[in-house]
Amino acid sequence: MGEPEGVWAVLRDRLDYASFVPGLVRDMVRADLRNRDGTPYTVVKNPGADRGAGTYLRLEPADVELLELMDGRRSVQEILVEHLGRSGTFALDRLARLTAALRANGFFGEEPPPVYEKLRARRARRDPVLRAQGLLRRLVMWDIARWENAEGTVDLLYRLGGRFFFSSAGAAAAVVLGAAGLWVWVGQTASGKHDLVTFNGSYVLGILILVVLQVLSISVHEAGHALAIRHYGRRVRRLGVAVYYLFPCFYVDSTDMTLAPRGQRIVVSLAGPLAGLLVAAVCAFGAAAGGHTTAGDLAYRAASLFVFQFVLNLLPILDLDGYHILVDALDAPLLRQRALAFVRGAAIRKVRRRERWTRREIGLATFGGSAIATSLLVLLFSVWIWQTRVSIAAAELFGLGPAGAIILALIVLVFVGPLLVALLGRAVGVTRNAARLYAARRRRALEREMNERIATLARVRFLHGLPRQALAAIAHHLRVEEIAAGGTVVTYGEPGDRFYLVRSGRLEAIGPEGEGFGTIIPGEGFGELALLDRTTRSATVRALEPAVLWSLDRGHFGRWVQDRYEVRARIRASREERQGLAALPFFRGVSGQELDRIAARMRTRRVPAGEAVFHAGDGADRFYVIRQGQAAVHLPDGAFARNLGVGDSFGELALLFGGRRTATVRAVTDLLVAGLAREDFARLVRASGESAGDIRARTAHYVGAGLGGAVAAGT
């Protein structure tokens, strides 16, 4: 029993976040840096993480304040208390995010197992598009070998001559040599002595040589980055040899430069293109010296390719060195993503609305528009190359027989395959996103309708008070029915089989002789009594305008209504209250639907014995019905006028005419009255489509007769 308890104790300690004592690795590297505007930030490195390559985190000043309290002795709770005392801020959320990021990157000494990476890889293997992308990516870029923190090899290159180019004399010599080489290359190109694409009349050999030189240029480019990283005392995180487009080349990882200032990062980004430019200059001089010979032609091709790589890498529109130089110079991270998002969205809206543009918005629009235009130009250039050069090389390879066809298939697979698979993946991704967006919109629409159903059901008087789960269950079983104007929903005398709830539109209830029973408006229901008592319909319901109804069948109505005593009691109480209102003189002739509406609006009030419901001279704003107890009416001079008991009403003329109370009504015993506010009555009148004049005309028989004199009329 001791061992399991120990396991659970350890598990409890691990899960108790407040008692966790964060202790950082001893060899953590920290660099305090500043943005272009002078605001500080910090980058920390865990050198031992990621199999010795190291992991990095960028922290804001508020994160650093918490980081400095992680001394391996304070718990999370103590860190929070200490930070609260120093800054006056309770930073629980920030500390939780910081400790999660530090733990994920191994800064506490335990690097988490790559469980999620393995799960993502396993999921990718099940996706045919992702699987094809992975296979083609291996053909394009295949790691042969790599070394973590490869300072030794880079340091050897640096000491063998690389350091010269980072001195003042070396940098000046490099600039002069590069400029002179460019001038010579331009002259060789203008002379027309060399052919860039064909070699000895063969397009296949010409393209093959260009591919080899391209791989060589990448290796030189990466070597330039590595030497610059070494010059600034930072570590080359990884140095590797890979097969790139079927040919071997070197590559370096410059992530360690995140610990360096912006100026040093810019120099490292520039070092790659400039290294290629120096080699291009040497090759250009070789082409000029070799003339129209094999060596001269090869040198010209190498110079041309290195110049092309130099220009291409410095274009800030492409996601290459020029872009990273621009991002560091402007201190604008994620510039490309933000610019493209701005061009696709906000820029279009600003043009449509003719709004003023800020300098920042002009810059984003310029960069984003240039990126889109460049992508289109590259696509057109690729099509032109295919039509004018590659198609000829393909025909030449076909002429070599099966071996040529295999070579062509391999070239297409490696060079064109990734593009096709990427386009296919993009199409699949767009389709999936569209499907997810449609499903999400449909789900939100269903949720909105379900919430609307629940809210409407909650306003039904006999369902009021049911828990949301029960209302949701009822709402789930509601069926949508659309009724055209003049259409009949239920007919007098037919068996009751469904309960109806009005979502939109107005309906009218008609008696067996064609008499009107009132209007049914949105949010109201009908048909529950026929289902509850298992009787036939007592009226015909017809749509006055196009209407949408929700209906609940007998089975589900029985499950959620008939089987619940309190709901049945409310339905019957509502019917009794409606009958009680119908017996009052003021509501004589009012339809049952309107009486239901009035009963739902009445609010109960308790008045202790001896207290007044209202006094003479008070504002007349409410009508009352006595449900329990007795009351007495007194004139303004205190004279007794009459007694009121259960079922009696008073103050009804206030609903029509307002004015002041002309008598005092006082509770003789503890009194329970139900009151209807004049505003609620007016709202019901508007919803029914009648005017106040119609109501007055309809109740004229009461206003002028049987009021018991001025006392009753005034109250």
The yes-or-no verdict on residue 335 having pLDDT over 80 is yes
Rounded to 10 deg, the angle between the 92-104 and 76-87 helix axes is: 130
How far apart (Å, rounded) are the C-alpha atoms in residues 193 and 447?
A: 73
Q: Note the pLDDT of residue 549.
A: 92
CA 389 to chain centre: 46
The yes-or-no verdict on residue 708 having pLDDT over 60 is no
Find out whether 199 and 297 touch, Cβ atoms under 8 Å: yes
Label residue 1 by pLDDT band (50, 70, 90): very low
H-only helix segments in 460-535: 468-476, 528-532
The yes-or-no verdict on residue 705 having pLDDT over 60 is no
How far apart (Å, rounded) are the C-alpha atoms in residues 486 and 545?
A: 7
Q: By mean pLDDT, which of 92-106, 278-292, 408-422 is the weakest?
A: 408-422
3-state secondary structure of 388: helix
How far apart (Å, rounded) are the C-alpha atoms in residues 560 and 463?
A: 10
Domain boundaries of the chain, sorted by first residue? 17-112, 149-327, 460-581, 602-714
The yes-or-no verdict on residue 551 having pLDDT over 80 is yes
Instruction: Kindly state the percentage of the chain with pLDDT values over 90.
Output: 9
Mean of pLDDT values over 681-710: 52
* Average pLDDT score, the chain: 78
pLDDT tens for 633-660 read 988 888 888 888 887 878 776 666 667 8
How far apart (Å, rounded) are the C-alpha atoms in residues 459 and 521?
A: 13
Query: For residue 41, which of 333, 476, 242 has the smallest C-alpha distance?
Result: 333
Q: Note the pLDDT of residue 32.
A: 92
| Cα angle, residue 585 at apex, residues 579 and 591 outer, rounded to 5° | 50
Q: Note the pLDDT of residue 711.
A: 33
How far apart (Å, rounded) are the C-alpha atoms in residues 328 and 639?
A: 93
Q: In what order do the strands lie in the sheet with 55-59?
A: 29-34, 40-46, 55-59
pLDDT tens for 445-459 read 889 889 988 888 887
Q: By mean pLDDT, which of 65-69, 154-158, 493-497, 523-527 is the weakest?
A: 523-527
pLDDT tens for 655-688 read 666 678 878 899 999 988 888 887 776 666 665 5
Q: Note the pLDDT of residue 44.
A: 92
Mean of pLDDT values over 27-45: 90
Higher per-residue confidence, 112 vs 164: 164
Mean of pLDDT values over 287-312: 84
How far apart (Å, rounded) are the C-alpha atoms in residues 443 and 311?
A: 50
Both tokens of residue 163? Answer: 């350091």
pLDDT tens for 223-273 read 899 999 989 988 888 888 777 655 667 788 888 898 999 889 999 999 989
Q: What is the DSSP string of 632-697?
A: EEE-TTS-EEEEE-TT-EE-TTHHHH--B--SEEEESS-EEEEEEEHHHHHHHHHHHT--HHHHHH
Q: Note the pLDDT of residue 2.
A: 47
Label residue 627 by pLDDT band (50, 70, 90): confident
Label residue 207 by pLDDT band (50, 70, 90): low
How far apart (Å, rounded) are the C-alpha atoms in residues 67 and 106?
A: 14
3-state secondary structure of 492: coil
Label residue 60 by pLDDT band (50, 70, 90): very high
Higher per-residue confidence, 156 vs 10: 156
How far apart (Å, rounded) are the C-alpha atoms in residues 633 and 668?
A: 10
Q: Note the pLDDT of residue 695.
A: 57
Q: Note the pLDDT of residue 703.
A: 47
| Local structure of residue 111 (DSSP, 8 states) | P
Label residue 548 by pLDDT band (50, 70, 90): very high
How far apart (Å, rounded) are the C-alpha atoms in residues 515 and 509?
A: 9
- Given this chain, do its domains 460-581 and 602-714 carry the same CATH topology? yes
Mean of pLDDT values over 296-303: 84
The yes-or-no verdict on residue 394 having pLDDT over 50 is yes
Q: By mean pLDDT, which of 92-101, 414-423, 635-644 is the weakest?
A: 414-423
The yes-or-no verdict on residue 43 having pLDDT over 90 is yes
Mean of pLDDT values over 390-396: 65
How far apart (Å, rounded) are the C-alpha atoms in residues 523 and 504?
A: 8
Query: For residue 649, which of 591, 699, 693 has the smallest C-alpha distance?
Result: 699
Cβ burial of 252 (10 Å; 0-12, 13-18, 19+) is: buried
How far apart (Å, rounded) are the C-alpha atoms in residues 601 and 519?
A: 16
Both tokens of residue 141? Answer: 């870029």
How far apart (Å, rounded) are the C-alpha atoms in residues 598 and 600?
A: 5
CATH code for 460-581? Answer: 2.60.120.10
Q: Note the pLDDT of residue 657.
A: 67
Find out whether 53 and 235 touch, Cβ atoms under 8 Å: no
Label residue 77 by pLDDT band (50, 70, 90): confident
Q: Note the pLDDT of residue 687.
A: 55
Element housing 159 (H / E): helix 151-159
pLDDT tens for 504-521 read 898 888 888 877 777 888
pLDDT tens for 577-588 read 666 666 666 666
Q: Note the pLDDT of residue 707.
A: 35
Q: Note the pLDDT of residue 63.
A: 92
How far apart (Å, rounded) are the C-alpha atoms in residues 713 and 715?
A: 6
Superfamily of domain 602-714: Jelly Rolls (2.60.120.10)
How far apart (Å, rounded) are the C-alpha atoms in residues 223 and 458?
A: 72
Q: Which residues contact 38 (CB under 8 A, 6 or more apart)?
A: none
Q: Note the pLDDT of residue 112.
A: 62
Q: Which residues contact 148 (CB under 8 A, 6 or more apart)?
A: 51, 52, 53, 237, 238
3-state secondary structure of 293: coil
Mean of pLDDT values over 685-697: 57
Element housing 490 (H / E): strand 488-490
Find out whether 480 and 521 touch, Cβ atoms under 8 Å: no
What pTM does this model have? 0.55
Q: Note the pLDDT of residue 704.
A: 44
Query: For residue 393, which of 402, 381, 405, 382 has the smallest C-alpha distance?
Result: 405
